[in-house]
């Protein structure tokens, strides 16, 4: 695949940085991938662990995305789940995305944005009941694919999630090369 692939990660205060960075590391490997870190403003935000992450795109200026990924936030996702601006952005940007995805409790945010209605999904084991309460059918897998929705379980599953997505977008050979280069 030679077409440029635009991948966007929603980042927000108290996001779990490894939910972002595990998948980011893998998805940055293909040469025609462009990754955007998206938030309301370009002001740096602090992750759940205290790492400062700087957004590269705002909601208003976000390009059309091939993939939107919503990482979890430990408890940081709770506020985001109530934020109409975020939920509206996810609904709008997802209309044209090839894949709508999440890692860990990011699936709770997708569910709150009504983007998992009628889909199976997974998330961190400690939050499965919360996801089910939002009307999502839970399948306890490390990475789950249901049509154009990909969800990863807990934090480190973001690497497996990334490799799965690379395989879908660029083929198994590219995913194997990324895995080899990361010694994973």
Active-site residue among 62, 69, 104, 123?
Answer: 104
- In 28-121, which ranges are continuous DSSP H helix? 77-81, 84-94, 106-112
Active site residue 69: no
- Strand segments, DSSP code E, in 14-104 are 33-39, 45-46, 52-53, 57-58, 67-70, 99-103
Q: How far apart, in whole angstroms, are the C-alpha atoms of residue 49 and residue 60?
A: 27
Active site residues: 104
């Amino acid at each position: 695949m030679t077409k440029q692939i635009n991948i966007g990660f929603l980042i927000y205060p108290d996001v779990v940085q490894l939910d972002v960075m595990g998948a980011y590391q893998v998805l940055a490997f293909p040469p025609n991938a462009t990754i955007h870190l998206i938030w309301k403003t370009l002001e740096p935000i602090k992750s759940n662990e205290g790492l400062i992450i700087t957004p590269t795109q705002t909601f208003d200026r976000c390009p059309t995305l091939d993939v939107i990924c919503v990482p979890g936030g430990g408890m940081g996702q709770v506020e985001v789940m109530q934020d109409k601006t975020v939920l509206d952005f996810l609904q709008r940007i997802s209309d044209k995305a090839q894949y709508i995805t999440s890692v860990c409790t990011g699936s709770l945010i997708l569910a709150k944005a009504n983007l998992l209605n009628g889909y199976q999904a997974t998330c961190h084991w400690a939050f499965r009941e919360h996801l089910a309460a939002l009307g999502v059918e839970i399948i306890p897998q490390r990475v789950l694919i249901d049509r154009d929705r990909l969800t990863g379980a807990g934090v480190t599953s973001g690497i497996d999630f990334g490799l799965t997505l690379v395989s879908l977008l660029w083929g198994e050979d590219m995913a194997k090369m990324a895995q080899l280069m990361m010694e994973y």
